[in-house]
Amino acid sequence: MKKKPFSIVLYAPEIPGNTGSIGRTCLALDIDLILIKPYGFDLSEKSVRRAGLDYWKHVRLTEFESFNHFIQKKSPTKDSLFLFSKTGEKSYFDAPFKEDCYLIFGSETKGLPPSVLETYKSNAYKLPMFNEHVRSLNLSNVATSVGYECLRKLNL
């Protein structure tokens, strides 16, 4: 099996349509989707499958009970973790992506937990938003944008 360039990780996703759309992006990029519980929906919900279209059954999906469970099982190096939050201090354009890294996104309404952000503060990035009337961007759009930027930087 060929090495996968990176994986997308969703921590406590709440909106099934976003998860389905991100799953479709993962399939298009031939990368893994990792989900960390709790979810705000059931993975068998029709809305997850609808957003993932008929592709959902082909998504390489791994589930973890908690962020700590993910860290214990995957044993990633700290420099292979890239967290995305509106509170990140660095632009995702400056992220030093590397092969076999993890692009980690928090839930739609809460983002990543403060404990995770504090532990990995130097690994937190944000996407630019220039208008004060926008509080956040759609998770699916962000994950797709970051995924393609990572792909571009890896020259794949």
The CATH number of the domain holding residue 10 is: 3.40.1280.10
- Burial bucket for residue 133 (CB in 10 Å: 0-12, 13-18, 19+): exposed
In a domain, 73, yes or no: yes
Q: What is the pLDDT of residues 21-45, one digit of tens each?
A: 999 999 999 999 999 999 998 877 6
Residues 90, 128: Cα–Cα separation, whole Å: 10
Number of domains the chain is built from: 1
Cis peptide before 38 (omega within 30 of 0): yes
Q: Residue 69 CA to chain centroid, in angstroms?
A: 16
In a domain, 1, yes or no: no
Which pTM value belongs to this model? 0.93
Nearest to 15 by CA among 110, 150, 146: 110
Give the domain extent around 75: 6-153
In a domain, 131, yes or no: yes
In a domain, 55, yes or no: yes
